[in-house]
Amino acid sequence: MPKYKVVITARSFGESSDEPFNILKGNDCEVVKIPADRPLSAEELIPLVKDADALIVGNDKVTEDVINAGKKLKVISRYGVGYDNVDLNAAKKKGIVVTNTPNANNNSVADLVIGLMLVLARNLLAVDRIVKSGGWKRIMGTEIYGKTLGIIGLGKIGKGVAKRAKGFDMNVLCYDVYPDLKFSEEYGVTYCSFEELLKQSDIVTIHVPLTPETKGLIGERELGMMKPTAFLINTSRGGIVDERALYNALANKKIAGAALDVMEQEPPINSPLLQLDNVVITSHIGGYTCEAITNMGIVAAKNVVLVLNKKQGAHIVNGE
């Protein structure tokens, strides 16, 4: 009989490979995959964790009540990089380890950013709709080649975007509180102030975690600094961009367009942004590729096994 019970609510866990499941089953774990088509609420999670030793979650709401309900819970393995949906303090109080899967989806997110740049610059979705409705109207776009790209947050994903942007001979500006001067020199990236980046960039892309400091980082003031021809891309976290301010900026043509892979509320059922033609909204697909799903699943499973067996090497985010 398996020694541990692992409850999995991360929707895409194991979709592209059986290896993550095999890692768990090969290490004395009973695996219970919850068939959900959306992130679960705290109320839905509470009965699921009562007898679980480990929980592998996506963007589900792991609140203090959920953590307290897990009487045997030893590890919460976040299937992804961000962990703002997990109450780290409550977990730490209960002696529950929280882990994540850094670097597993870097390439997938960076690829998506480049794709969204092209979609915005060439009005690809609008043209597609015209043709499919029987028309053949052309909409004039703009090139991204040689333009100025502003990257807010030059971590692993931001660096991936910078490398790809150099293939378009873009002038890359970046803002980060921890500058990597070696990288900037090697790839010709220029560090500058936050305000200067907003004012000079033709495209601004966000790659910072959601924290109390970054919540509402892009609001009315910041959008007002951007060029009227500029595009904003957010594949990081909903809440970093003030959606009401963004709606006003887009509706009043203060900026040319935006692409959002993340929203404050997902799905954004009642968001006024859905009514605008100059915004592209995707369903949090930044890390949703075969390669990223496999990588995240393997790392998330290994994190569980390492913590349950009291071994070193797990990617712990709530340690000292």
Give how far the C-alpha of residue 84 lies from the chain's centroid of Cα atoms, to the nearest Å.
11
The single residue of 19, 186, 195, 266 carrying the catalytic annotation is 266
Edge-to-edge, what's the strand order for the sheet holding 75-78? 29-33, 4-8, 54-57, 75-78, 97-99
3-state class (DSSP) for residue 64: helix
CA angle 169, 174, 177 (to 5 degrees): 160
Structure tokens at 317: 């985010």
Which residues fall within 8 angstroms of residue 278, CB to CB, at 6 or more apart? Answer: 250, 253, 256, 257, 258
Tokens of 242: 């003030």
237 noted as active-site residue: yes
State the number of CA atoms in the 13 A half-sphere of 61 facing the CB: 12
3-state SS class at 137: coil
**Catalytic, out of 11, 207, 284, 315:** 284
> Of 237, 243, 244, 291, which is the active-site residue?
237
Q: How far apart, in whole angstroms, are the C-alpha atoms of residue 177 and residue 254?
A: 27
Q: Is 55 within 8 Å of 303 (Cβ atoms)?
A: no
Strand ordering across the sheet containing 279-281: 190-191, 171-175, 148-152, 203-206, 231-234, 257-260, 279-281
Q: What angle do CA 291, 106, 114 make, to 5 degrees?
A: 100
Cα angle at 166 between 260 and 176, to 5 degrees?
60
Distance of CA 235 to the CA centre of its chain: 5
**What is the set of active-site residues?**
237, 266, 284
